[in-house]
Structure 1
Amino acid sequence: MAMNLSEIVIDGDTPGAVWRFPVFRFKGSASGAPSVYIQAALHAGELPGTALLHILLQKLVEAETQGLIRGDITIVPHANPIGLSQQHFGEIQGRFDLGSRTNFNREFPLISLSNRENLLDGLESQNAVDQLKRQLLHMALGADLMLDLHCDDESLQYAYIDPVFWPEAADLAEAMAMDAVFLSDGESTAFEEAVGHAFKATSPAAETLPGRLAVTVELRGLADVGVETARRDADGLYRFLVMRGVLAGEAGVRHGFTGAVSTLDQVEVIRAPEAGAVFFHRTIGDRVKAGDLLATVITRPGLAEGDQPIHAPQDGLIVTRASRRYVRRNGNLMKIACTNPSARTRPPGTLED
C-alpha cells in the first residue's frame, strides 16, 4: 500500500480564515508491530524537526518500496499553520497564540486513552487553536510511540522524557546522539505530557510502560537547520525506528547512551539578576565547575561598577544558551544539567513558559 497523504482542515475564527496542514501515513505490514506518531514545529518557527522529517519521509518512501515498514507511521512535518502565519514585523510569533495568549504547547486536554474519540466531538464549536490541539492529540493517542520535535535557542541535542519511559527510551537518546536527557515530572499540560498522561492512565500503578513512549526532542537550536544536520538526524531517527521494530532492518552495533541525565530539579536555569547586554564566557557543551564565570550582564554601559558577573552554582554541562545578547531582569540565560538538586525552588511543570 502506497503512502497516504491527507490534509487536516482547521476552520478559522473569522469569516474566510481556514488553516490546512498535511499528514503523511504509512501502513505497516506486521500485526503487533509498534506504531509511531511524529510531529514537528508545534512552536511554528522551530524548524529543525521539519527539516529532519522532510528527509525522513524520503527515506520512508524508499523503505516502503522495499517492504520494510512493519508498524503504522503517522508524520506531521509542520504541526502549526496558525502560528506560522503569525508574523510581527517579519518575526514569526509561533510560540504563543496571539488571540488567547496561550503557549501552543500548553493546555492540551488530559484524558485517558478510552476517551480518545471524544476529542473530536463538537470539534466545529471549538476555536481554531483548540481544534488544532484536539486533532493533533487524537492522532498521537492512536500510536504506541510519540515523538514531538522541537528545538531550543542555542542548544545541544537533548530530550524531555517522563521517568515512566526511562531507561527504555535510552535507545532513542543513543540513536539520536543526544547529549542530555531531562526527566520531566508529568505536571504540565504540554503535548508530550498530555500523551504520557493518557498512557499512564491505562496502568496508574505502573513504574514503567514498556513499549510506550511520549517524548519531546529538542533538536539543538533555532539556527540549526541545514541539509547535513537534517540527514544525520533523520538517519538517527530511522535507526531508532529499526530498534523498536517499526521498520525492518539492522540497527547496527549498540553502544548505549552516555550523556547526562538530570531530573528537572537538577537542572540549573541561569537567570539574569538585572537587565542589560550580555557577555557570555562559556558556551553550550562546556562542562563547568561550581564558581566558574558563566556570563557578565552589562547593566550600565560605560560604568564597570554596573557589571553583574554570573557564576555557576554547581558542576554541570551547559545544555542551552540564549541567542540574544540583551536580557531582561530574570530572563533565562542558560540551562545546566547537574547531578545535584538546584537550590532554587522550582514549581511543578515545565522549566519555561
Structure 2
Amino acid sequence: MDISEIILPGDTPGIEWRLPVLRFKGRDPKAPKIYMQAALHSGELPGTALLHFLCDRLRRAEAAGAVCSDITIVPHANPIGAAQSHFGEMQGRFDLGSRTNFNRDFPLIALGERDTLLDDLDRYTATEQLKRQLLHMALGADLVLDLHCDDESLQYAYIDDAFWPEASDLAAALDMAAVFLSDGESSAFEEAVGHAWKHEIAGERRTQLPGRLAVTLELRGMRDVTPEMAKADAEGLWNFLAARGAVTGEATPVGDFKGQALPLDNIEMIRAPQPGAVLFHKSLGDRVEEGDLLATILTHPGMENGVIDVMAPQAGLIVTRVSTRFARRRADLMKILCHEKTRAGRKPGALED
C-alpha cells in the first residue's frame, strides 16, 4: 500500500489541510480501476469505518498477490469540514465560508478535460481545490464509490439510470433495502463523475455506461458506526470487488438484489407543515398505506387542538427518518419510497440541499 497526502492551502494565513490517499497496486492492467471515498460530509462516518476494515483486508491481499485492480481509497475525504464546529458540534455538511454543500457544485466537465481540473489551482478556494482534487482522482477510475450515510436510515443507494441494472450486484452485496434511481441532473460528486463519462465523446451524450459505475452509498444512519456493522459492510464490499474481478481469493458469491429500485420521482419527502415537537408513529422499514398516521407535531403544547397530524400521502416503505424531535416549518421528516410518483412534484436533481 502506498500512502500519500494532498496538501490544500488554507484561505487564511498559517492554515493548510492534509488529505491522506491510500493506493493499492493491482497486478492486472485489464482489471477495472477502483476509486472509493468516505465522509465527504465530514461527520458521516460509517463509510470511514468500513474503509478502515476493508484496507486491512486489502493489505493482506496485496501481500498475497490477490489485488488485480489499481485501487485508490480516501478514507476521510473532507478535512476542511471536519475542522468546522459551532459550539462544539461539527458542521461537516456545508462549507461555512461559501454556505454551499460539500457534495454540490463539483465541476461538470467532459472526461477529456480531466487534467484541466488541476490547472491554476491557486485561483480557487480550499474547498474548490478539494473538490477538483477528488474529482480528478475519481475520473482515473472505472468504478467510483462515494460512501455517505443519512440521519436515521435503512441501507440504500443513489444510482444513475445509466448504471442500472448492471449495478444491482453492488446493491445486493451490501444488502441494500432500496435503490433511488437518480436522473444525473445535480452537481453532486457521483453525478459529476457520471456527467464526464456521458460526455466522453465530443458532441454525444451517452445514456448507458457498461463497465463503469459511479454511486452514492447511504450506509444507514449517523450513529450506525459500530465494528460489527463496519466489518459486515466491508465484507460485502469485498464480495462486490471480487465479483467485478478487482480482487481474488475467498469471497461469498453475490446473489440477486432483493430490494426496491425506483426513480427519485417516486420518493415522497415528508415535511413538517408547522413547527413543533415531533412524535413519530412509524419507524424505519415500516410499510405504510395511504392515510396512515406518520407523526404528530405539537404546535401549541398543552393547548386544546394544539397538534397537527402528518399522514402518508400514499403507500410505501419508510427509508429514512430524522433523529431530531423538533421541526421547523417545512423541515424534512422522512423519505418514503413509493410505487407511484409523488403527487407533490419534483424538480430535477438532488432531493435535498
- Looking at structure 2, the residues matched to 123 and 342 of structure 1 have their Cα atoms a distance apart, in angstroms, of 42
- Looking at structure 1, the residues matched to 250 and 198 of structure 2 have their Cα atoms a distance apart, in angstroms, of 31
* Code of the aligned partner of 2:159: I
| Structure 2 residue aligned with 1:126 | 124
- Looking at structure 2, the residues matched to 332 and 183 of structure 1 have their Cα atoms a distance apart, in angstroms, of 20
1:264-279 to structure 2, matched below 5 A, reads: 264-279=264-279
| Structure 2 residue aligned with 1:72 | 70
Instruction: Check whether the contact 2:31–2:68 (CA below 8 A) recurs between aligned residues.
Output: yes
- Looking at structure 2, the residues matched to 211 and 250 of structure 1 have their Cα atoms a distance apart, in angstroms, of 23
Instruction: Check whether the contact 1:261–1:337 (CA below 8 A) recurs between aligned residues.
Output: no
- 1:11 is the counterpart of 2:9: yes
- 1:348 is the counterpart of 2:329: no
- 1:201 is the counterpart of 2:180: no
* Code of the aligned partner of 1:239: N
| Structure 2 residue aligned with 1:171 | 169
- Looking at structure 1, the residues matched to 37 and 343 of structure 2 have their Cα atoms a distance apart, in angstroms, of 35
C-alpha displacement at 1:304, in angstroms?
4.2
C-alpha displacement at 1:202, in angstroms?
2.1
| Structure 2 residue aligned with 1:30 | 28
SS in structure 2 at match of 1:30: coil
SS in structure 2 at match of 1:309: strand
* Same amino acid, percent of matched pairs: 63
- 1:247 is the counterpart of 2:212: no
- Looking at structure 2, the residues matched to 255 and 241 of structure 1 have their Cα atoms a distance apart, in angstroms, of 14
- Looking at structure 2, the residues matched to 215 and 256 of structure 1 have their Cα atoms a distance apart, in angstroms, of 18
- Looking at structure 2, the residues matched to 172 and 69 of structure 1 have their Cα atoms a distance apart, in angstroms, of 19
Q: 2:89 aligns with which of 84, 88, 91?
A: 91
C-alpha displacement at 1:290, in angstroms?
0.9
* Code of the aligned partner of 1:240: F
Q: Which sections of structure 2, spanning at least 5 residues, go unmatched?
A: none
- Looking at structure 2, the residues matched to 304 and 283 of structure 1 have their Cα atoms a distance apart, in angstroms, of 27
| Structure 2 residue aligned with 1:108 | 106
SS in structure 1 at match of 2:129: helix
Deviations 1:273-302 (CA, angstroms, capped at 9, x unpaired) = 000000000011111111111101110000
- Looking at structure 2, the residues matched to 245 and 210 of structure 1 have their Cα atoms a distance apart, in angstroms, of 15
Against the structure 1 CA distance between its residues 213 and 310, is the aligned structure 2 distance closer, same or farther, given a 3 Å change threshold?
A: same
Deviations 1:29-80 (CA, angstroms, capped at 9, x unpaired) = 0121001100000001111111111111101001111111001000000000
| Structure 2 residue aligned with 1:315 | 315
C-alpha displacement at 1:262, in angstroms?
1.5
Against the structure 1 CA distance between its residues 304 and 146, is the aligned structure 2 distance closer, same or farther, given a 3 Å change threshold?
A: farther
Against the structure 1 CA distance between its residues 288 and 58, is the aligned structure 2 distance closer, same or farther, given a 3 Å change threshold?
A: same
Deviations 1:235-262 (CA, angstroms, capped at 9, x unpaired) = 0111111111111135434430010112
* Code of the aligned partner of 1:232: A
Deviations 1:211-266 (CA, angstroms, capped at 9, x unpaired) = 10000000000000010010000001111111111111354344300101120100
* Code of the aligned partner of 2:311: H
C-alpha displacement at 1:143, in angstroms?
0.2
- 1:298 is the counterpart of 2:298: yes
- Looking at structure 2, the residues matched to 343 and 151 of structure 1 have their Cα atoms a distance apart, in angstroms, of 26
SS in structure 2 at match of 1:174: helix
- Looking at structure 2, the residues matched to 80 and 121 of structure 1 have their Cα atoms a distance apart, in angstroms, of 21
* Code of the aligned partner of 2:270: I
- Looking at structure 2, the residues matched to 324 and 273 of structure 1 have their Cα atoms a distance apart, in angstroms, of 16
The aligned length equals 351
- Looking at structure 2, the residues matched to 124 and 67 of structure 1 have their Cα atoms a distance apart, in angstroms, of 40
- Looking at structure 1, the residues matched to 311 and 225 of structure 2 have their Cα atoms a distance apart, in angstroms, of 31
- 1:59 is the counterpart of 2:57: yes
Greater mean alpha carbon deviation, residues 58-67 or residues 241-250: 241-250
SS in structure 1 at match of 2:257: coil
* Code of the aligned partner of 1:129: T
- Looking at structure 2, the residues matched to 25 and 206 of structure 1 have their Cα atoms a distance apart, in angstroms, of 30
* Code of the aligned partner of 1:193: E
Instruction: Check whether the contact 1:156–1:285 (CA below 8 A) recurs between aligned residues.
Output: yes
- 1:187 is the counterpart of 2:185: yes
- 1:228 is the counterpart of 2:228: yes
Give the TM-score normalised by structure 1.
Answer: 0.98
SS in structure 2 at match of 1:75: strand
SS in structure 2 at match of 1:214: strand
Instruction: Check whether the contact 2:243–2:253 (CA below 8 A) recurs between aligned residues.
Output: no
Deviations 1:121-164 (CA, angstroms, capped at 9, x unpaired) = 00122110011000000000000000000000000000000000
Moved over 6 A (4+): none
SS in structure 2 at match of 1:341: coil
